[in-house]
Amino acid sequence: MSACAAPGFAPGPAHPEELAAVADLAAVAFPGGPGRADLEAALAAATGRLHVARRGREIAGFALARRVVDELEIAWIAVGAPHRRRGVGARLLADLIVRERAAAPLSAVHLEVRAGNEAALAFYAAAGFVAVGRRERYYRGGEDAIRMTRTL
């Protein structure tokens, strides 16, 4: 995956003062998804990872993940509507993986995505993820999830 052109946005670990902006973005991207308490818990947990794409004080996107030994589980990735299709998500995902690999050996990255979210499925496939299974009625409303893995 290339470190796409995301003009002026730098990915990296989130800072506590950015939680409100990340929570606002999460509320729009994932109604009923991670709230501020979830984000605070991720920052406080030894296994939690919260990364953002930022330009100054503006947060364009975030990734919330959890490290389990030598694997990374991505729970949420979102990019704000004005910044989509500009490489922000790709750069954020790539940076997260690079940082995790630099910190300690990493063998795989896992995630689930809505079966009907063709854009997300294509995004993850372009990033080297492959479908490895399906979770029936995983999401509210009964939509299935596609389990995807990228082996490193």
Question: How many other C-beta atoms can be found within 10 angstroms of the C-beta atom of residue 141?
Answer: 6
pTM recorded for the entire structure: 0.86
| Alpha carbons 83 and 96: distance in angstroms, whole number | 18
In this structure, CATH architecture of domain 10-151: 3-Layer(aba) Sandwich (3.40)
Side-chain half-sphere CA neighbours of 139 within 13 A: 18
Task: Show me where the domains of the chain are located.
Answer: 10-151
Q: What tens-digit pLDDT sequence spans the chain (152 residues)?
A: 334 445 678 899 998 889 999 999 998 888 777 788 888 887 788 888 999 999 888 899 999 999 999 999 999 899 998 888 888 999 999 999 999 999 999 999 999 999 999 999 999 999 999 999 999 999 888 999 999 999 99
